[in-house]
Chains A and B, each alone.
Chain A
Amino acid sequence: MKTPKINWILLTVFGIASLAVFVFSLVNPAFRGNAYAPLREGLLPPPDPIQITIYYGTEKRDWLEQMREDFLQTDPRVNGHPIEIELEGMGSREMVLSVLDGSIEPTVLSPASSLQISLFQDLSTQKFGQAMVNTADQQNCHPLVETPLVLVAWKERGQALWGLNPGGDLWKELWDAATDPQGWASYGHPDWGFFKFGHTSPLKSNSGFMTSILLAYEYHQKSANLSVADIQNPGFQSWFLQLESSITDFGDSTGSYMRDIIAYGPSKYDVVAVYESVAIEQAENAIGRYGELYIYYPPRTLMSDHPYCILDADWVDADQQTAARLFLDYLLSDPAQESAVMDFGFRSVDPDIALDQTGSPFLVLGANGIQIDSLPPEVEVPKGDVLDALLDFWARNVSD
């Protein structure tokens, strides 16, 4: 029997073709998947990952970390390169200022509110001649989730001050208690010491910034057209400063601040101004530490909308932008939005995802003051010069 003759020409062509694919896959990871797997994994160095760095407001830490894990499990790739996501928690305003002074070079900024992105857009234009973010470009800059600013109290203490259904005098009653030299003794609880209200630093963190804006609106009893003159009004300044000087500890970042509130308990904080989402997130932890929380909605509020904005900066290349966009798409997907509502207490940016579905924390915490529908109206976001005047006043007179 004649053995079939090897076609050496064919074999050589096949060999050269295989080698070409192999070598090309070395040069270009996009073709890596075509190389013979055992040879590829044994001989080739792994393709360089595309690294993106996201600076985010810490109040969404747990959600983002969970979503990063879920997203990376889908083995997302850009031109064959795997994606690596570094998450760095930081106060919302602090991250904006840190990009401007060059101390951080993130791919994405995700502060707690578009308020900070608007400021960033203005300030980066002033500094570099062009904006590093474009809020109009929905593909690169999009809100992730929403949550209103609320007042959170340890339930027993909130009730001692306000009862369960305070009226429109919420801020006034808070102001009276916080500035009362007798503190809780005036409310029949001398053992609770002085009254401890708190919010984060408006210079570093968005919720502190929002609180200051709401206080200015409250003093002037309006919901729009806050002016520089309103901030410079001596009556407002004195009223505002009295409240601020009663605060012993301004946090740098809302998420960390709320964690401290639960860790230390009512000995250190009676009532704080934070987001509804962090109150929901920590409500169960609170019971394990010191008891129930109660959520109070101020008569007018501001929404924190967690924009996710990919930077237009020389340290962000096209692959990184693509990787960052893939993660943004994931965060806006139904499972991620569902998880934000059900597991982390945010309100979805997708109106189809309901808050009152079975097992939703919004339902569970109804007895702790959470309201699903009847949110207070939002105040108008003041103009840049008004915001600057407010921050400047705080920095000069309160600053921690």
Chain B
Amino acid sequence: MQKSRLFQFIGLLIAFSLFLSSCSALSNLVTDKVVVTMVYGSEKEDWLVPLIEAFNQANHKVESGAVIEIKAIPMGSIESAREINAGTIQPTVWSPASSIYLPVANAEWRQNHADDLYAGTPNDLVLSPVVIAMWKPMAEALGWPEKALGWSDIGEMAFSEEGWTAYGYPEWGNFKFGHTHPEYSNSGICAVIASTYAGAGKQRDLTAADLANQQAIDFLAAVEKSVIHYGSSTGFFASRMFERGPSYLSAAVMYENLVVYQENERLTGNSNQMPVVAIYPKEGTFWSNHPYIVLNASWVTDEQREAAKLFEDYLLDKPQQLLAIEYGFRPADPSIPLTTPLDENHGVDPLQPQTVLEVPDADVIRGIEALWYEVKKPVDLVLVVDASGSMGGEKINAVRSSLVQFTDLLGDRDRLEILTFNYEIHELTPLTELGDKRADVQRRVSGIIEEGDTRLYDAVLKAYQDLNEFGDPDHIRAIVVLSDGQDTASGNALDAVLAAIGSHSESGDATKIFSIAYGTDANEDVLKNIAEITGGQEYFGEPDTIQEIYKAIATFF
């Protein structure tokens, strides 16, 4: 009797412990999640995205037991600074392409907040110097590698009316240069600051007074004159340059890792372009250092902060740092040597750069941005808008309001023509400067009425011919065409239109066409063809995304 009680007692004890352990197993199944959003400069996407997937799959947990999920959104570094300050994006982690704009972002943050945007000095994730990527034969024509090249040589090329003829290569045409939009992208602001330094003949201590120096202003204006167009993403510039070759762009400001990537493609047979090399500007450059910033913002919880720190530790851990080098980055971990593919074979020199430029104060950077607006290359733009009957309702409403906002993004010196088309083509406004007619143009686009057929091809051809006839070759020339359907009424066939456009489109300073296939009935293939043949970009839009698309297109100008 006593014995059986003892067994009962032991049995009860075991059952109780089983119950306890099954409870803890169950609690593991229904765990909470802590989501960390990260807005990052898109240049590190290829390295970062697979690491995020691996991290999420490993179910890392914070101390409370909640499982960490990282959600990452790529965005231009300067644009994300603006959006964080406006509160329109509220990430936990911000990892722009470099620290250069942090003082400006923080100064703006401090206007509305008691504390700084971030605490301490953020850690760098990976490094890559800002370089001028140039086709190797072109660099050699300029005397490289015996002669060190720099921002001043870019300026000299830009000042010269002769282009490559002066160097014995008339067949290369004009010197075609590119950098991204400094209001959106880190490499763009780096290029503009570096050009301003070169114009002022300085490497440090750039002041507000230097921005009034006529020589500096003229230098920046000359560099900008040779720019074929801007853009919001450094990656886009790189891929366009490497796809379309030296007739499109002679050189562009980007990061060393993008040169390594292209050379790797070429060496493995995936690209048949000529070799490209990284020029490390002799006057100095900036580093793209990809800081990892956990925002000191009210929307970041302690748990998110904890999770963000764990993810940072993971990215800085040796295996992940070692991977970075395969993508052409210099690891932030100094114990990892700079080995292949960071070598001459891949167009880069790991012993460069020899010197940097000093990052100016926030006020000076803002002054440079303002100066850039004054001297930037203006655009001659024709907006071609489908006003056929099928555009009725929500579609045309969204286009009207998007066009009003789009015109706000253009400068006073930009010249704008607007064509609408249905069974005929209407010129809402001719190709003249926007400054004098902005209000009138906005009134007119608000009153676009839809009816009738779709003369898409004729309208595109007219826009193209107008730009050829009235456009200024010293301006960026571009067409933005939006259509929601098939061509039903044109006198010209598609082939004829493509032949007319395509015959001049090889060159980077030729007219660029950006096309928007609007809604599901749009003829995507045709619109893609029209854009691609000019080196422009095609988009697919709906009424709820059209505003963003016009905004993205505006960054090219």
Q: Please list the residues of chain A having a beta carbon within 8 angstroms of any beta carbon in chain B.
A: 8, 15, 42-43, 183-184, 191-194, 196, 248, 251-252, 256, 259-260, 262-268, 282, 285-291
Contacts and interface: CB of A to CB of B under 8 A. Distances in A.
B345 interface: no
Contact of B355 (A256, A262, A267, A287): A267
Given A286-B334, A290-B351, 6 more contacts: A248-B358, A259-B334, A262-B334, A263-B330, A268-B287, A288-B337
Contacts of A266: 354
Interface in B314-351: 330-338, 350-351
Interface string B254-285: 00000000000000000000000000001111
Residue of A191, A266, A288, A290 contacting most chain B CB atoms (<10 Å): A191
A259 B353 CA distance: 18
A148 to B, nearest CB: 22
Nearest to A263: B334
B203 A193 contact: yes
Residue of A43, A259, A262, A264 contacting most chain B CB atoms (<10 Å): A264
Interface of B: 2, 6, 13, 17, 120-121, 123-124, 127, 129, 148, 203-204, 282-285, 287, 330-338, 350-359
Nearest to B283: A193
Residue of A43, A194, A196 contacting most chain B CB atoms (<10 Å): A194
Nearest to B17: A43
Contact of A264 (B123, B127, B333): B127
A192 B203 CA distance: 11
6 contacts: A8-B2, A43-B17, A184-B355, A193-B354, A194-B204, A291-B351
A196 to B, nearest CB: 8
A285 B350 CA distance: 14
B330 A267 contact: no
The A contact surface, by secondary structure, is helix
B42 to A, nearest CB: 22
Contacts, number: 76
Residue of B129, B287, B337, B356 contacting most chain A CB atoms (<10 Å): B356
Nearest to A43: B17
Given A8-B2, A193-B284, A289-B338, A263 B332 contact: yes
Given A193-B283, A288-B336, A252 B13 contact: no
B282 A194 contact: no
Given A191-B148, A191-B354, A267-B354, A42 B337 contact: no
B131 to A, nearest CB: 12
Given A43-B17, A263-B124, A289 B334 contact: yes
A194 B6 contact: no
A43 B14 CA distance: 8
Nearest to A8: B2
Closest 9 CB pairs of A and B: A193-B355, A288-B337, A262-B334, A267-B353, A285-B334, A263-B334, A285-B335, A193-B284, A43-B17
A275 to B, nearest CB: 16
Contacts of A248: 204, 358-359
Contacts of B282: 191
A42 B17 contact: yes
B213 to A, nearest CB: 17
